[in-house]
Amino acid sequence: MVCGLTEKEDKGYVPKTTKGVNVSRIDKYGPVTGGFRAPLNAAWNATSGPSGVSDLNRVIVVALNGSGKLIKATTAVGAVGVVCLPSAKDAGAPVDVMTNGEIVELDLNDLQAATAPVAGTKYYLDTTAGRLTATAPVAGTNASYVGTTVEASRLVVRFGSFQG
């Protein structure tokens, strides 16, 4: 005991898990400067993702529809940021959309190709499911840059659109 405090063994970074499975989660986010809030167009839950993969605790690129509600991005032109929701939300529920921040515990379920993320890799929108891809856009096409991994499981989000 030191200064009345009990010493604890330092175990380093220990990822939080749900039922033994790693899940992505927001680590650093400034609600004033790191994004904005918008309502969901449809319910967001464990069964709203592609076959066999939940949308909860996953990094999903989103867009705004003509009603100002969030949908999964299917084009780079409409993409506005990412969401990583830890729990189910009903249609119309307001959620935070990250444009600038950090997400930890990134894993293969966040990537469209289901490959493990690699440190130092730039990630972009894969329009097939609103997930991430490391494949750089073809020259002359519109694209959405999501961010770069500082560590294999830590994504620094600096969302933006550009032409490849």
* Structure confidence at residue 21 (pLDDT): 55
Task: List Cβ neighbours of 107 (8 Å cut-off, separation of 6 or more).
Answer: 22, 23, 24, 116, 117, 153
* Structure confidence at residue 10 (pLDDT): 42
Query: Measured in whole angstroms, how far is the alpha carbon of residue 132 from the centre of its chain?
Result: 8
Number of neighbours of residue 77 by Cβ within 10 angstroms? 11
DSSP string, 42-82: S-BSTTSSSTT--STTS-EEEEE-TTS-EEE--STTTEEEE
Beta strand 94-98 pairing with 100-104: unpaired
- Report, as ranges of residue numbers, the positions in the chain whose pLDDT lies below 50: 1-15, 17-19
